[in-house]
Structure 1
Amino acid sequence: MTGKFIGKLAGIDRADVGAYRNTYKHNLSLEILQEGYVSSFIELFELFDQQAQLRENAGSDSGVHEVPLLIDQHDKLDVLKSKLIEAEEARRSGAPDNSYQSYLELAQYFEKFPSDQWLIDHFHEKCMSESSKVEEDGGRKLAEANYNIGIALEKRGDLSSAVDYLEKFYNLTTEQEWQDKIGDNLHDIASLQLYRTYTCLAEELYEEAPSVSIDYLKKAFHMANEGGNRTEAGLASHRLGNIYEAVGDPEVATMYHKGFLDRCKRDKDQVGTGKAHEALARCQQSEGKLAEATENYKEFVKISEEVGDKTVYSQACSSLASLYNMLGEYGSAVEYYKKAAESMETDDKERLELMNISTAIARTHHHLASYATAILCNTAKLTATLVEWKDYRDDGFIQASRPGTRAESCLSGAETPAAATAPPEDTCDDKK
């Protein structure tokens, strides 16, 4: 009697004592039941059981056990109570669109917590279930539910599953005028999102299945064009060109690279235009169209110089120099290798050394023909020229041994002695 009397004097009843003694989970459950929301109570306990099952399935070595139990996170439990009750009230009043919104807000709330992915998935599935009951919106809620699940799957890296949901979103928004909160058409959003997902999936599958990767890039190209984004469409064309180039089909690659070039020129995108010229040059070079490749590399050099990106300019000069070296135009090769080395803005000593070696090789090739002429013809003048070059290492030796002088010099061994005494067109004396 004394304890009961003291409790009354202090204004404390049995419920207050119970609330103090019981756990937060217990008190929250009582509140939900006392307010008459049985479905919310069941949903909450199903979540507790689901988390316990996930922990059991994951095993004791899993990082799942490091995540706090939902039962012990009071702020989250308060949000769950509020939104679950809202959803139950909406279902009672026959407003599935409102219950859909409550579940969506819960999914968005738990997106702030990376460890609660299972809750995000759970409430997106609840949204999907509620969206199918909404009849007056023409399927918009169903479309949005598919989009949300697709995005959630993509964020965790499950691209193959994400594509299935995003394609449903795309199909449901076809020929619809639905817009998001800022006025963007949902079908355009579907096209551009599928473009991005197809592109990522293509990159993921390239090593193990190049043909499947190409199929996804083609789909990405189609979606970018349909979405009306010229920049993305151009990049999709460029990627297709690159992958066809990689699998050894330069003809088809050239077609896509030309499409990329046209878009970049139309949009006055100098950086993209330079990349397109470079890609075209590579394809033409592999096809043996060396004159066309040279012109495209020249354009690449010109544009990269105008843009002012020294790293790209160095790369462009190096590519053109390599082609000149292949063509036997060693003087031009030396010129562009030197430009490539001089414009390098990097501490990459290995690349700088490579440029210097390439320059030396091209310079050697440049001198080789004149050197061979001097040795084979073996005239006094060419021998003197060779000796002089050994002293000074300038270009006089090359100029003195050009075909005209070579022809004159070699006549010394011909049948017409008079011809051997004809004055040379270019001699060391002229140089002096």
Structure 2
Amino acid sequence: MWMKQRGKNIMRHSIMAALFVSAAIATPAAAVTITNLFNFSPASGYSSRGELVADAAGNLYGTTRSGGANGVGTLFRLGTDGVYSVLHNFSSASGGVAEAGLTIDAAGNLYGTTSAGGANGLGTVFRVGTDGYSVLHDFDSAGGGNPRGGVILDSSGNLYGTAYNYGAANRGTIYKISTDGDYTVLHNFTALQTGYHPQAGLTLGADGYLYGTASGGIPAVQAGTIFKLATDGSDYTLLHSFGISGDGRYPQMEMIADAAGNMYGTTNQGGGSGYNSIGTIFRIGTDGEYSVIHTFVGETNGSYPVGNLLLDAAGNLYGTTTSGGINQNGTVFRLSADGDYSVLYKFATYGGYGRSPYAGLLADAEGNLYGSTSSSDGSNLYGSIFKLSDVGYVLPAVTPPPVGGIPEPATWAMLIVGFGLVGVSARRRARIMSIGN
């Protein structure tokens, strides 16, 4: 079957007990090259919103929220040979409209969520393994529903995620689910001031807490919040409320963490005023110390970021914007560790790559970045999967040791997508890489 390769041990949210890695010296590239790997279509699925995940052989996996045999999206693989395969067509019964990407465990099973469909029409948590596709949980009004974020995996094999709607106060939940389908609500969002309706998934920090973002916050502003929660559901803490003095508004995707435990994320709006209120990149410590490290101020350089950030071994951040650039088609950017912002690529009208990348990026063993666009640029009607080369991505100079079921060092070559989290799960997108700071 398609999941037999042991190399698929890479975990989008895999577990890292300790990554003591020294960074290689960055070698800035002279010119960035983009390669079109695949064009989406109604049959293949389209409108891909979750970042890609890779196995140890270099095959890419992802989801779409539209198209496919039933019109509600697909789960796909793009092989290293360029062959695209639909592994599952979502449906009203099995769940549909996948808003997020996937997580891979040490045995090669894929896990994810759908925001609709299933037994109650409120979405599902699913698994795909050697035995095919199965629903682990059908969301309902009591336990939360309509998840927009994916799941992360801890060292004990528990999955964690958020539900956007329903729960005790009809404002969403944080949940834990075992790989056998045992579902537990850890937290019901109840108060507008401390957060509600979470759109993003979670990040497991080096301190063992779950970190995430939600709507709500300051009553007159309601621009979003950052919170943390113990994995047993206790000690919910509001770390930051957005909407004060240009700190950004409306976080929509998961954060990432560095080896020191700092979290990084984006807001879709805010940061400036008027037409320059188009998003920020922020950093927050586990103690709640918050700072804006970049404000998007010019439409030509990117605006309205939605996708997750990627962090390399030198502390450089990579990401995408849904707008800005040429004719507002979106960009791929890098923010260096010293705060230097640069646009690596601007999607152009009729460029053939699509536009509006909603998802974040994935890196391979040679420092190439992979991503997807979600919509038409005029010549490409449904978006694409692309590769960017010569971007200056800094790989670790020392191979991390295998920990907690993670594959032997030789297979770490493809475990490179930047969630260098010490003692944490590396998120739900095949993202396993060590970050120096």
Task: Name the TM tier (shorter chain).
Answer: under 0.3
Structure 1 or 2: more helix by fraction: 1
Structure 1 or 2: more strand by fraction: 2
TM-score by length of 2: 0.20
TM-score by length of 1: 0.20
Instruction: Find the structure with the greater CA-based Rg.
Output: 1
